[in-house]
Structure 1
Amino acid sequence: MLRKLLSHAAIYGLAAQVPRLAGVLALPIITRYLTTTDYGVAGVVAAYVSALGILQSLGLSVVMVNSFARYPTRYRWVWRQLHGFTLLWSVVYGLVLGAVLYWAIPDNAAGNRWLIVALYALPAMFFNGVGLFGGLYFQMQQRPLPIALNSFVAGALVVALNIYTIAHLRLGYMGWFYSNFAGGALSFLIYGYMMYRHEQMWPILRFKWHRIRQSLHVSLPVVPHHFSFFLLDTSDRLVLDALRVPVSRIGLYNIASSFGQYFSAASSAIVQAAGPLYMRLYAASADREAALQARQLTFSLQVLYLAGTSLLGLWMREIFTLLIKNEELQAAYPLAIIILMGYNYKPMYLAVINQLVYREKSKALWKISTVAGASNVALNFIFVPLFGMEAAAFTTFAALMYMGYAGYLLKEYRQIRQVDYLPWLWLPVNVVALLGVYFLADVDMMVKLSISAVLIMAVLFYLYKKKNID
């Protein structure tokens, strides 16, 4: 089972991560021409786009996933109707996004206000819906190659344009905005050709309203759950902005949090590959062996996540020195360690959330995600004025840990639980890993090499012992 997941993740990931790796390697080139203000403007705009992003799909991906699993012979008809509805809704959503951005863009970028609005609102209206539809379709089909191709081609274009617009044309934060627009347009063309020409998955615009109402009844309770990812990943920048933290300081926090998001994006290949496997195992709910396989899959993923984040966190100071050619930005590496280690929540979160979704207990999701996100925002408003911007990193870590483990305490989960996932053991391990990496980040390089070697050997031994898991 783990081998299959990792093989699919490799296909999802390798093509997608080559452009991302190129983007990381481009940092020494572009950071010479960027300031903390550039990072601050980009961070605030991205935060508002993320805040509204969940409204584009209205949570309907949950309905699509469930219909795929439950109705293998007629899911295409359901998907095409939902696709038609979301395309029409995207026009309304794009207008709302443009209005919010016009109001929210920082004064530092006031001269480019209308241009920024257009670069984000137009893709939301005409591009993004096709990408969401196509990506989910190929994911559930367990056909990672089309997703990988799109990620590679569009990602490579974005990286190349980032270098050209920032390092050559010296456009600052506008370089990111132009590049993202171009990447979104290319992704639209690729997925549009695949879905409409090859798969014949044309949208049904004359959809049945009773189908849409039934679908929204299931999907809308998921919207607060998905909104929580914004509250956890990017709301910090909006809180800092609301607290009148200077844009340059927000930029410093933005560069730190970006490394956690790099890891999250890189590991998204595992999440994409894991979804269908979890659903297949949960569909065999009468088989206890399938439940044990799902648990072992989760444990193996947790080990891989802990090892990956710990190694990156241990060497974060050196990574910043190598990649960030700006001494002011380099000072953010301790914050990057804290935020990065928070993303170890994901494997345990996936295990519980996939079970709740499959059992159609989506109304319980807000108790995990919405509470985690709202707590993160509330704690930021309390502690940032008292302890400064650094407090936002610690509150994010705490909220992510809640996200990963709170679901195991829910009554709705305990009613469907088949095996014990040992959350009381894994949570302390996550906290100890953060403390260990944070305090070892400044030790001698030879000590780091020794620790890294021991950690890698331990993980390889664990995977070797579990290699016969199917």
Structure 2
Amino acid sequence: MLRKLLTNSLLFGISPYIPQVINVFLLPIMTQYLTATDYGIAGTINAYTQALTALSTLGFNSVLGVIFYKCSFQYKILWREIYGFLNIWMIFFAFLQGLLLYFIIPEEAAEYKWLIIALTNFSNVFFGPTATIGNYYYVNSMKPIPIVWRSILSGIVTLLANYILVVHYRLGYLGWYVGGFLGVFLMNASYWYAVNVELKLSPIYNFKRKTILKYLRVSLPTVPHYYCGFLLNSSSKVIMDFYSTPLPVFGRANIMIQISSLMENWVNAINQAIYPMCMESIKKRDEVRAKALIYVYLGITYFCTFIFSLWSREVFNILISNKELASTYPYAVIFVMAFNYRPMYVGASNIFFYHEKTTSLLRLTFCSGIIAFVLYCILIPFLSIWGIVIAYFIASFYMGYAGFYMKVFKDNSKITYPILKIAAIHLFLTVMALFFVDSDLNIKIVITIVFIACLVIKSWLQFKKT
């Protein structure tokens, strides 16, 4: 089980994030030619476009997986109808996104406003739904290779384009957008032949309205659920923009989040790998196995986030050539340690998704987003970037553990978790990482060895028990 989980995590779990990871490792070179203002412009635009991300699929991405497992013999027909509907919807979505970008692009980027709008919309409108269908097919079928080679190819194209445009032509933030567009467009377009011809999942435009309306009732309640991601991760940038935060400060927050995304991508990668295994276990009513998978997920996440946070000063100094930007590492400690909410959230939310209780899930996810948004409004004017990471941690903490106390989970799951104990470990590791991040290297080495030893012993005892 562990071997399969790690293999799948490395293959189709991490592969969708290869372009972002490659971009992070380009930072030692890129930051010599990018300013805090460049990061500020990119952060502002990304914050608003991410606000619309959930609307691009209307929540159907959550429905596709459920259909795959519950309707094994007719999922292709249902997917094709959803595919056709999404292709039509993307035309309206492109107009909405373009209108938003027209009004929010900063004055410093006004010269390239129409180009940015075109690049942001083009690949999503023509191939976004195609890539969604293809990716979900390969993930749920546990066929990682088609995703891997597309992601690697996209990452290489993005890397080369960013290097040429930012380093050689000195285009700054615009080089990022052009390079990112080329990589995403190539990856999304590459799914067209596989989805429409090889898998015979061509879109049905004459779809049954009853079918679409039936699944919209399930998918639309998840849109606020996915907006929790925006409220958690990006609404802080909107609040900073509202308070007219200087672009250099905006840029410092953005670079901190970009580096921290290394860990977030890894945590999400494990989730990609574990999702089909957990859903299969729940389908077979083997929740003991599902719980064991969540514990494995939790242990790996503890290990990665704590080690990264403890050594974040060194990581930032290696990856970032700009001293002003490299000094943002203390913020990353709390931000990264917040990611430990994810395994427990997945453990609870899988029950909600499988039993199609998505409306009830809003009480958990959207409330955590509102908590984050309110705290951002209160804390950012006084604490700046510290306000962002503190608010993010509190909201994530709520989302990670509150679901286990909800009636839907208790009624549909026979498994219990020691939530208070797990939450206490989460807090303890966060305090430890924050306290020792500026310590001497020898002390960090000792702490790392002791921490790894404790994890190994605990894992061995748990394995022996089972």
TM-score range, shorter chain: over 0.9
Q: Give the match for residue 406 of structure 1.
A: 402
Taking structure 1 as reference, are residues 414 and 14 closer, same or farther at Cα in structure 2, changes over 3 Å only?
Answer: closer
SS at match of 2:206: coil
Q: CA deviation at 1:24?
A: 2.4
Between the aligned partners of 1:62 and 1:313, the Cα distance in structure 2 is 31
Q: Give the match for residue 391 of structure 2.
A: 395
Q: Give the match for residue 319 of structure 1.
A: 315
Q: Give the match for residue 422 of structure 1.
A: 418
SS at match of 2:385: coil
Q: Give the match for residue 346 of structure 2.
A: 350
CA contact (8 A) 1:224 1:366 kept: yes
Q: What is the TM-score of this pair, normalised by structure 1?
A: 0.96
Q: CA deviation at 1:184?
A: 1.6
Q: CA deviation at 1:418?
A: 0.7
Q: How many equivalent residue pairs?
A: 466
Match for 2:426: what amino acid?
Answer: N
Q: CA deviation at 1:61?
A: 2.0
Q: CA deviation at 1:338?
A: 1.2
CA contact (8 A) 1:157 1:179 kept: yes
Q: Give the match for residue 270 of structure 2.
A: 270
Q: Give the match for residue 169 of structure 1.
A: 169
CA contact (8 A) 2:131 2:191 kept: yes
Q: CA deviation at 1:239?
A: 0.9
Match for 2:360: what amino acid?
Answer: A
CA contact (8 A) 2:67 2:75 kept: yes
Q: Give the match for residue 338 of structure 1.
A: 334
Between the aligned partners of 2:214 and 2:66, the Cα distance in structure 1 is 13
Q: CA deviation at 1:193?
A: 2.1
CA contact (8 A) 2:24 2:259 kept: no
Between the aligned partners of 2:57 and 2:19, the Cα distance in structure 1 is 26
Between the aligned partners of 1:469 and 1:117, the Cα distance in structure 2 is 57
Q: Give the match for residue 3 of structure 1.
A: 3
Matches within 5 A, 1:434-453: 434-453=430-449
Root-mean-square deviation (CA), in Å? 1.7
Match for 2:419: what amino acid?
Answer: P
SS at match of 2:417: coil
Between the aligned partners of 1:269 and 1:440, the Cα distance in structure 2 is 28
Q: Give the match for residue 65 of structure 2.
A: 65
Q: Give the match for residue 296 of structure 2.
A: 300
Q: CA deviation at 1:13?
A: 4.4
State the Cα deviation string for residues 429-453 of structure 1 (Å, max 9, x = none).
Answer: 1111111101100000011111112
Between the aligned partners of 1:468 and 1:130, the Cα distance in structure 2 is 46
Q: What is the TM-score of this pair, normalised by structure 2?
A: 0.96
Q: CA deviation at 1:110?
A: 1.3
CA contact (8 A) 1:68 1:75 kept: yes
SS at match of 1:207: coil
State the Cα deviation string for residues 203-224 of structure 1 (Å, max 9, x = none).
Answer: 1111111111111111101110
State the Cα deviation string for residues 48-67 of structure 1 (Å, max 9, x = none).
Answer: 11110110110112222121
Q: CA deviation at 1:19?
A: 4.8
Q: Give the match for residue 245 of structure 1.
A: 245
Q: CA deviation at 1:468?
A: 8.3
Q: Which stretch shifts more, 239-248 or 29-38?
A: 239-248
Q: Which stretch shifts more, 218-227 or 14-23?
A: 14-23
State the Cα deviation string for residues 5-37 of structure 1 (Å, max 9, x = none).
Answer: 222112224655665543322111000011111
Matched, 1:104 2:104: yes
Match for 1:75: what amino acid?
Answer: Y
Q: CA deviation at 1:359?
A: 0.9
CA contact (8 A) 1:257 1:335 kept: no
SS at match of 2:392: helix
Q: Which stretch shifts more, 301-310 or 191-200?
A: 191-200
Q: CA deviation at 1:140?
A: 0.9
Q: Structure 2 stretches of 5 or more lacking a match?
A: none
Q: Give the match for residue 139 of structure 2.
A: 139
CA contact (8 A) 1:264 1:343 kept: yes
1:368 counterpart (355, 364, 367): 364
CA contact (8 A) 2:150 2:190 kept: yes
CA contact (8 A) 2:22 2:155 kept: no
Between the aligned partners of 1:432 and 1:95, the Cα distance in structure 2 is 47
Match for 2:312: what amino acid?
Answer: M
1:432 counterpart (423, 428, 432): 428
CA contact (8 A) 2:127 2:192 kept: no
1:378 counterpart (374, 383, 403): 374
Matches within 5 A, 1:286-297: 290-297=286-293
Q: Identity of counterpart residues, as a percentage?
A: 32
Q: CA deviation at 1:464?
A: 4.6
SS at match of 2:244: coil
